[in-house]
Amino acid sequence: MNKQKLFVGLSVLIIDQVLKGIIETLTKSYVIIDKVFSIKYVTNTGAAFSLFENNIFILILISLIILVLAYNLSFSFKSNKINNITFGLLYGGILGNLIDRVFYGYVRDFISIFKFPVFNIADMAIVCGIILLIITSIKGELNSKSGDKNENKSRRGNKAKNR
């Protein structure tokens, strides 16, 4: 794994875990902007929108599978700053919530915006990583074996060109 991915992933992981540790000591919610943004500690035994609620083993297994898939997928993309940030965000976010599930049996959430479900730094990193992954996929940031943008042309077309 390159240094950029490692730095981004570890940064997300550390910030996520430190903030969760601080926030879980709070005894009350804090309204930052009335009806818009507040800090509110909650625990979540499910995934997004309470999917697989109280099925910790399944959620740990899914997290591990997604982490391995993301790692393998990273080799399909060019090694550049945006792709390194993308996969670093994904690794850090997935690991942040995975650590919670393994050690606590639930994910610690604390960011409340509007009436959206409460979430955490790891969730934000995963969402941002997925958005960047979609953008880089659309932009054509995939690796090509020869580095040639015309690689997708048929072999026959390339043979005829070389004659």
**Which pTM value belongs to this model?**
0.82
User: CA–CA separation, 32 vs 117, rounded Å?
Assistant: 17
Higher-scoring residue by pLDDT: 155, 68: 68
SS3 letters for the chain? CCHHHHHHHHHHHHHHHHHHHHHCCCCCCEEEECCCEEEEEEEECCCHHHCCCCCHHHHHHHHHHHHHHHHHHHCCECCCHHHHHHHHHHHHHHHHHHHHHHHHCCEEEEEEECCCCCECHHHHHHHHHHHHHHHHHHHCCECCCCCCCCCCCCHHHHHHHHC
Tens of pLDDT, residue by residue over 61-107, are 999 999 999 999 999 888 899 999 999 999 999 999 999 999 999 99
pLDDT band per the 50, 70, 90 thresholds, residue 157: very low
**Parent domain of 75:** 3-162
The catalytic residues are 109, 123
The total number of structural domains that make up the chain? 1
